Structure 1
Amino acid sequence: MIFVTTTACLALAACGANQEAVEVTSAPEQTQNEVADEGEYAPANAVKTVPPPPSPSAVAPATHVAHDAAIMVTGSRIAGPAAPPARYAPYAEPDREQYQDIERSEVVRVADVPVSTFSIDVDTGSYANVRRFLTDGRLPPSDAVRVEEMINYFNYRYPVPRDRSKPFSVNVDAAVTPWNRDTHLVRIGLKGYDIDRSERPPANLVFLIDTSGSMSAPNKLPLVKKAMVTLAREMQARDRMSIVVYAGSAGLVLEPTNDPLKVEAALEKLQSGGSTAGAAGIALAYKQARAAFIEGGVNRVMLATDGDFNVGTSNRDTLVDMVKREAETGVQLTTLGFGQGNFNEAMMEQIADNGNGNYAYIDSVLEARKVLSEEVGSTLFTIAGDVKVQVEWNPATVAEYRLIGYENRALSEQDFSNDKVDAGEIGAGHDVTALYEIALVGSKGAAIPDRRYQANRPAAAPGNPAELGELRLRYKLPGETKSRLLTRVLPVTLAARAGEVRGDMALAAAVAAFGQKLSGGEHIGDMSYRQIANLVPKGDYYSEELRKLVQAADTNGPSR
């Protein structure tokens, strides 16, 4: 027997009246003096004080519990009824949020580096997190702004592919750059085919929920419950859902079920308390996912947390290695971030990317509905894996280029054809957008001046004057290990016929400008927030919200 020694309060929907106490097998809790592998992502004050376990007299040694009683983990068994849980004050530590350092993309001379290679990114968490900061009346930290995630938060009107042997359509267009009329924006858009609800493969989902003391705020565990109820209601009779929770240690709360009412009842009884043994929870969730594995179906762990892992293995690299190994077994990982103050986005994004999943930030019930209901197909059902993009620019026509965003998705040129190198996944119905800003040969848009010495200057490049370059994409269909290749020539007429940004190209340009402005704005000249807001086309709710957020950024202070 492996013992659980946390004082976290849990509740089990499966524990009805007159049922025996349920035995939990999980990893032992580490004490404050046994915290391992903190690394740079575990601040010195990351370990929270854990209340002592209740005395023997506080918890009766009963073997039966009432249906509505809270269940206390106090040893080798879940016993009850328990005393009311201790109340944990919400975190108020705004400086403890953690983000991955970003070195922003610079302008590149085609004569020096003609090939640009990157992995696609379907995460959207950065936009929702930025929205949270602006709604609170402050500008986000620069490293919290990942421009590609902001662009990919929105849906664009790309045509849906007709042939599922090619799981996404490839769309390329261009326009004059709004912040520099001497350059052009080239947009590459991918649109995955959608799956009708009746055609979805069966899903085996493990809800892994952080119930530690740091999750007590209203925008954390209470919002997690509502989000997971939203997802549970999207599931069908063939699907299976189970719940694993973790605080000081991890435990299985709900065995696999297809009944959303059971899931809802189990979620309702969860309470926060204790420190955060995140790695133990992830390990147990993967074990549960493997035990209920559905061949040919979707097998995925849905981690809902603020990412504040402070007991056990909290080093990001160790967790990345764990989720990479599990992804090879066919179990994917989606991370859902919640809350503020101690939010560890660096951890959340990286383990999702390496777990062949996606990362989203949930700041409201509306966002939960968007990610887990309206876009549940793209969140859960992968249609293409290890998707890589490569553009070889023609030095005869393009002098310079800059990929906007995707800084932490950059790949080396040789990685493109190496099927062992991991890349991003596209879900059903997903849009993926990438923007390049290019300067044509002979234009005034070049950002890099000529070199002083003739021998250091690039020679006039021969090449086909009818081409800007060639676009290449590699991807794997589900279950395949060998990638497939798509290529498309980018004609010079893309730029020659380019006009002002319009429609959803204007939307993509506005979001790109907004993200760049928030993260420093080195490449968008004197473009103001007001000009960015005016660029947003009139459209749906999300377009109008974007315009209001740009106006809020203008009100909250100057850009960095």
Structure 2
Amino acid sequence: MFKLKFLTVTVSTFILAACGQMPSQQMRMGEVAVLSMPAPALNITAYERAQPLVENTENYQKIDTNTVHSVAQQPISTFSIDVDTGSYTNVRRFLTKEAQLPPVDAVRIEEMVNYFNYDYPEQQGKHPFSVSTETVNSPWQPNAKIIRIGIRAKDIAAQQLPPANLVFLVDVSGSMDAENKLPLVKKTLALLTEQLRPQDKVTIVTYASGEDLALAATSGAEKDKILKVIYRLKAGGATSGERAIQLAYEQAEKSYIKAGINRILIATDGDFNVGITDFNTLKGMIAEKRKSGISFTTLGFGSGNYDEQLMEQLADAGDGNYSYIDNEREAKKVLQRQLSSTLATVAQDVKIQVEFNPATVKEYRLIGYENRLLKNEDFNNDQVDAGDIGAGHTVTALYEIIPVGQKGWLNEPRYQVAPTASASLKHEYADVNLRYKLPNQTQSILLNSPVQVTSKPLAQASTDTRFAIAVAAYGQQLRGGQYNANMQWDDILRLAQSAAKPDTFGLREEFIDLLKIAKSLSSEQKKS
């Protein structure tokens, strides 16, 4: 909940008389009186403002920006795939509704870039997704290049999805009593309910001071019955999330559909304050529960007390995805237009490992994915959890590299012997390896895709690559611009505008508007 810190004073006739002033006859005993006398007389300076100070208790995971690595010393980079988009919409809320730049740790660049779909090559053959790369000149460093890795998962039409066993886990505590919280939750869940099929099942669990089974497993054919339960939800009480999560898993297991979609969707501001509230304990519980084959998706709502770290990390631990819902339009994007990718998984535990060729690449840095980094030995270990890809999802990763022979970020070593490589490998910048598991399988599959030594000017790059780089530059600028060099807001804006089409749903146009807002807020900050 919001924590309000302000002074409330009940003034009696005796106090007023002692101060030499009498209350008006209209004032009743017990009313709060705001005095017109000088503040020093009562030594209460708070009266001069008479406005509550709202303490913002939003919580974000600290992120240390990825650093530059020498290929000679660390040629391999390994990370888990990420298809969350919550950071993008949460940052949008700061810019458009709060009229302020977001906290640095609210900005996760990979979630910015992956908010958008890209027209990568369609999946062919036995693998459930395609992998493509493009290398272009960097707009940040004169001698650098950017390697764009693009993944596109096979799509599944909503009506062709396997039967779904869904549990709506709804926070109805007092902290949800705000227009951008429970009322928006109702609209969001109603959108999903309208798309249910007779073979789908929905269970609704609510929680506040206690947890409640508001609706036992009900067929999607009974939409009116489900919607009635959703629309009569009311907020009040403390937040006991841990016990409710346990109940949600119990209900999901009771209605488990073999070879179907089994997923819990929690809708909350993440402000757990009763029961187990420790972040690591909750995350560990979800990580253990994912072994049951039930995924855990988080839908975040609200502001002021929003626990973004909890929402993002619980989804990661539960093999689900994390979305922040700031308006009804976003709800339609996540649970209507992208329903298949939100609910249906086509590849699990997807890991990327890029090995850079020391004969052609001197330095590199991974843009984003800071809280998705893995140890190199984790890549071949099928016991190590990683991200999942939903049907129709596209995933983008960007590396900035310095080719051999070019000046980069690092000083040239004095004593290190330059690496040698076979002449036959000098036509490759890197080797991209992906490991993934098919749903409900335990053994991973390896997919390999070399990156050739070829590049093009940024202006000649594909529309998708140019737009992805513009979004990455936007994220870097919001995080302080450490690696943007001389690229300013206007430069980012021009790059985004050059790649603004096609734009079926107006998302790229909206991004350009956000760029303009961020630029204006940044300028105001510099003036103050």
TM-score range, shorter chain: 0.7 to 0.9
Residue of structure 2 equivalent to 1:461: 420
Q: Confirm or deny that 1:519 pairs with 2:479.
A: yes
Q: Confirm or deny that 1:158 pairs with 2:120.
A: yes
Residue of structure 1 equivalent to 2:284: 321
Alpha-carbon distance in structure 2 between the residues aligned to 1:179 and 1:447: 12
Alpha-carbon distance in structure 2 between the residues aligned to 1:549 and 1:473: 33
**Does the Cα contact within 8 Å between 1:124 and 1:361 map onto a contact in 2?**
yes
Give, in angstroms, the shift of residue 462 of structure 1: 2.5
Residue of structure 1 equivalent to 2:349: 386
Residue of structure 2 equivalent to 1:117: 78
- Letter in structure 1 aligned against 2:246: A
Match of 1:369 among 332, 344, 367: 332
Residue of structure 2 equivalent to 1:297: 260
Q: Confirm or deny that 1:204 pairs with 2:165.
A: yes
Gap change, CA 1:237 and 1:125, over 3 Å in 2? same
**Does the Cα contact within 8 Å between 2:158 and 2:339 map onto a contact in 1?**
no
Q: Confirm or deny that 1:135 pairs with 2:96.
A: yes
Give, in angstroms, the shift of residue 295 of structure 1: 0.9
Structure 1: unaligned runs, 5 residues or longer = 1-41, 47-90
**Does the Cα contact within 8 Å between 1:476 and 1:482 map onto a contact in 2?**
yes
> 1:160-179 residue pairs with structure 2 within 5 A?
160-163=122-125, 165-179=126-140
Gap change, CA 1:496 and 1:508, over 3 Å in 2? closer
Residue of structure 1 equivalent to 2:35: none
The TM-score normalised by the length of structure 1 is: 0.81
Q: Confirm or deny that 1:450 pairs with 2:412.
A: yes
Residue of structure 2 equivalent to 1:421: 384
**Does the Cα contact within 8 Å between 1:178 and 1:501 map onto a contact in 2?**
no
Gap change, CA 1:351 and 1:273, over 3 Å in 2? same
Alpha-carbon distance in structure 2 between the residues aligned to 1:458 and 1:433: 35
| Structure whose alpha-carbon radius of gyration is higher | 2
**Does the Cα contact within 8 Å between 1:92 and 1:341 map onto a contact in 2?**
no
SS in structure 2 opposite 1:304?
strand
Match of 2:467 among 504, 507, 522: 507
Give, in angstroms, the shift of residue 458 of structure 1: 4.2
Tell me the alpha carbon deviations over residues 463-486 of structure 1, each in whole angstroms, 9 at most, x when there is no partner.
421111211000000121000001
Give, in angstroms, the shift of residue 95 of structure 1: 2.2
Residue of structure 1 equivalent to 2:196: 235
More helix by share: 2
Q: Confirm or deny that 1:280 pairs with 2:243.
A: yes
Q: State the Cα RMSD in Å.
A: 1.8
Aligned residues: 468
Residue of structure 2 equivalent to 1:263: 226
**Does the Cα contact within 8 Å between 1:501 and 1:509 map onto a contact in 2?**
no
Tell me the alpha carbon deviations over residues 47-97 of structure 1, each in whole angstroms, 9 at most, x when there is no partner.
xxxxxxxxxxxxxxxxxxxxxxxxxxxxxxxxxxxxxxxxxxxx9845200
Match of 2:446 among 458, 462, 485: 485
SS in structure 2 opposite 1:538?
coil
Residue of structure 1 equivalent to 2:516: 551
Alpha-carbon distance in structure 1 between the residues aligned to 2:458 and 2:176: 50
> 1:335-350 residue pairs with structure 2 within 5 A?
335-350=298-313
Q: Confirm or deny that 1:355 pairs with 2:355.
A: no
SS in structure 2 opposite 1:100?
coil
- Letter in structure 2 aligned against 1:185: I
Among all aligned residue pairs of Structure 1 and Structure 2, give the percentage whose two residues are the same amino acid.
48
Residue of structure 1 equivalent to 2:495: 535
SS in structure 1 opposite 2:142?
strand
* 425-434 vs 484-493, which moves further: 484-493
* 459-468 vs 127-136, which moves further: 459-468
**Does the Cα contact within 8 Å between 2:173 and 2:239 map onto a contact in 1?**
yes
Alpha-carbon distance in structure 2 between the residues aligned to 1:403 and 1:245: 41
SS in structure 2 opposite 1:417?
coil
Residue of structure 1 equivalent to 2:26: none
Gap change, CA 1:141 and 1:376, over 3 Å in 2? same
- Letter in structure 2 aligned against 1:197: A
**Does the Cα contact within 8 Å between 1:174 and 1:498 map onto a contact in 2?**
no
Alpha-carbon distance in structure 2 between the residues aligned to 1:234 and 1:94: 39
Give, in angstroms, the shift of residue 450 of structure 1: 1.5
- Letter in structure 2 aligned against 1:359: Y
The TM-score normalised by the length of structure 2 is: 0.86
Q: Confirm or deny that 1:147 pairs with 2:147.
A: no
Alpha-carbon distance in structure 1 between the residues aligned to 2:480 and 2:420: 34
SS in structure 2 opposite 1:551?
helix
Tell me the alpha carbon deviations over residues 369-399 of structure 1, each in whole angstroms, 9 at most, x when there is no partner.
0000000100000000000000100011000
**Does the Cα contact within 8 Å between 1:176 and 1:500 map onto a contact in 2?**
no
**Does the Cα contact within 8 Å between 1:306 and 1:339 map onto a contact in 2?**
yes
Tell me the alpha carbon deviations over residues 93-129 of structure 1, each in whole angstroms, 9 at most, x when there is no partner.
4520000000100111101100000000000000000
Tell me the alpha carbon deviations over residues 235-278 of structure 1, each in whole angstroms, 9 at most, x when there is no partner.
11100011100001101001111222222111110100001001
SS in structure 2 opposite 1:276?
coil
**Does the Cα contact within 8 Å between 1:183 and 1:438 map onto a contact in 2?**
yes
> 1:7-18 residue pairs with structure 2 within 5 A?
none
Gap change, CA 1:497 and 1:488, over 3 Å in 2? farther
Tell me the alpha carbon deviations over residues 5-26 of structure 1, each in whole angstroms, 9 at most, x when there is no partner.
xxxxxxxxxxxxxxxxxxxxxx
Residue of structure 1 equivalent to 2:210: 249
- Letter in structure 2 aligned against 1:468: Y
Give, in angstroms, the shift of residue 557 of structure 1: 2.2
**Does the Cα contact within 8 Å between 1:207 and 1:302 map onto a contact in 2?**
yes
Match of 1:331 among 294, 300, 306: 294
**Does the Cα contact within 8 Å between 2:139 and 2:458 map onto a contact in 1?**
no
SS in structure 2 opposite 1:96?
coil
SS in structure 2 opposite 1:181?
coil
Alpha-carbon distance in structure 2 between the residues aligned to 1:363 and 1:141: 17
SS in structure 1 opposite 2:56?
helix
Residue of structure 2 equivalent to 1:214: 175
Structure 2: unaligned runs, 5 residues or longer = 5-51
- Letter in structure 2 aligned against 1:534: R
**Does the Cα contact within 8 Å between 2:136 and 2:456 map onto a contact in 1?**
no
Gap change, CA 1:398 and 1:499, over 3 Å in 2? farther
SS in structure 2 opposite 1:504?
helix
SS in structure 1 opposite 2:143?
strand
Alpha-carbon distance in structure 1 between the residues aligned to 2:234 and 2:54: 21
Tell me the alpha carbon deviations over residues 425-472 of structure 1, each in whole angstroms, 9 at most, x when there is no partner.
00000001000001101123x110123xx32x3424334211112110
